[in-house]
Structure 1
Amino acid sequence: MPIYAISHHKGGAGKTTSTVHIVGELKPDITIDLDIHEGVSVINQLRPDDKKWNVLAINNKEKLISVLRELDDQGKTVVIDCGGFDADINRVAVAVADVVIVPANDTVTEQIGLAKFDKVLAEISKQMNVELNAKIMFCKTEPNQKHFPDMEDTLKKVKHMSLLNSRLSYRRGRYGFTQSLRQGMGITEIKHGRASAAGKEVVALVKELRELVENGK
């Protein structure tokens, strides 16, 4: 059962927006919403009735563990949108995930958040007796930006995160990453969206995530 967790205990990093686009392309069997704001659940209500996702909002650790055990027995593919806070329920999601995606940009506040999240990953690794390696995904960065000195400095210091090749850039206009959300859709689900620059980024991201699961990384 592949589990993809979008997690970062800093709020406003882009977890829910990223989750919607990933789910729209990946098409998991179920999406679990752990955010107290239930952003994915709300966005799902904007979708046409015949296109609604199977979204389950969960607000306690015991329920999450029970649901994941059941889904594991069924071999389902799961995407988890974690809340922007540090709590046991989010730590469970991170601990069981095959791939942990950490949306972030190159601002100072984001780098501070990543350093703190790395400590959380270290604690989970110690508790689970494993070495977690979450995947940082550039989110809300300028499409043409190639050099990220602050992130490069952070990557030298963290022990439980590495950088994905794919990113979800900050894009404006009809095919920007926020526009399709008004319809409850990921960018690759709307007409001509898959062929747009944003759509191509999502396709590349999901392809990379699937390869990570297949290769057990």
Structure 2
Amino acid sequence: MILTLSHQKGGVGKSTVAWNLAVYFSGIMDTRIVDLDTQRSLTVTNALRKEHNLPSIKMIHFNTAEELAEYAAADSDDVLTIIDSGGFDSAFNRIAIIASDLLITPVSDKPFDLMGLQKYEEILKSLSVIQGETIKTHVLFNNINPAMKRFGELVDFICTSEHFELMVSILRQRVDIAHSVGEGKSIKEYRIFSKADQEMDDLIVEVKSILNIK
């Protein structure tokens, strides 16, 4: 199975979400991370994990898009590959989108995120034409102000596009998130039963349901 955190816009929280999902699923099945981010954020985070004597996660890097395509072609249900794509359009990221069993696109409530989502929709449209099927991503509200209850035109846009499906889970701004990653930990490892942990648990349950992981 391939799960990709994908958005052509950077700074939306793809790496943080990918990391927390990877740490959790590595405890119940063979899980790998493909780090396509040019900053190699998760590779650095994994190194911090080793420094804190925590079990590391298998990291995979590819030199060419063709290598990624070959890896994806050999995908199996026994292994979960989580791809942290870069915040830009590229051959690497387009292959990840096409190969994925589940796409997750984090967005915040900021005005620029609506514009970014509109541009990302154009990428999904063009790939759908090439593939001959509608490619859909699950949109995750991430880094949301805890007091925010309504999302206005962003929800309207998401619900009217055939390429987007809004996730039930919402991840809000929590101090624990930044602190946990800084130690190479998941939110649960950093502070169990916190609000951030509970919200991540909700996301994990939703992802397991979508991918039919028991």
- Common topology (TM > 0.5): yes
Which residue number in structure 2 is paired with residue 54 of structure 1?
58
Q: Give CA-to-partner distance per residue, 1:83-125, whole Å, 9 cap, x none.
A: 0000111011111111100010121110000001011011111
Measured on the aligned residues, the alpha-carbon RMSD in Å equals: 1.7
206-215 vs 90-99, greater mean Cα deviation: 206-215
Q: Secondary structure at the match of 2:39?
A: coil
Q: Secondary structure at the match of 2:88?
A: coil
1:94 is matched with which residue: 77, 92, 97? Answer: 97
Instruction: Give ranges in structure 1 of 5+ residues lacking alignment.
Output: none
Q: How far 1:148 moved relative to its partner?
A: 0.5
- When normalised by structure 2's length, the TM-score is 0.91
Q: Which amino acid aligns with 2:64?
A: N
Q: How far 1:157 moved relative to its partner?
A: 4.4
Q: Which amino acid aligns with 2:60?
A: L
Q: Give CA-to-partner distance per residue, 1:180-205, whole Å, 9 cap, x none.
A: 01111110123xx2311101111110
Which residue number in structure 2 is paired with residue 40 of structure 1?
42
Identity of aligned residues (%): 27
Which residue number in structure 2 is paired with residue 183 of structure 1?
183
- When normalised by structure 1's length, the TM-score is 0.90
Instruction: Give ranges in structure 2 of 5+ residues lacking alignment.
Output: none
1:66 is aligned to 2:70:
yes
Q: 8 Å contact 2:159–2:166 — kept in the other structure? A: no
Runs of 4+ aligned residues of structure 1 deviating over 3 Å after TM superposition are: none
52-61 vs 98-107, greater mean Cα deviation: 52-61
Q: Which amino acid aligns with 2:165?
A: S
Q: Secondary structure at the match of 1:165?
A: strand
Q: 8 Å contact 2:6–2:105 — kept in the other structure? A: yes
1:209 is matched with which residue: 200, 207, 210? Answer: 207
Aligned residues: 208
Q: Secondary structure at the match of 1:58?
A: coil
Q: 8 Å contact 1:4–1:80 — kept in the other structure? A: yes
1:30 is matched with which residue: 3, 14, 32? Answer: 32
2 CA distance for matches of 1:89 and 1:183? 29
Q: Secondary structure at the match of 1:13?
A: coil
Q: Secondary structure at the match of 2:33?
A: strand
Q: 1:62 to 1:141 in 2, by over 3 A?
A: same
1:132 is aligned to 2:167:
no
1:80 is aligned to 2:83:
yes
Q: How far 1:74 moved relative to its partner?
A: 7.7
Q: 8 Å contact 2:22–2:32 — kept in the other structure? A: no
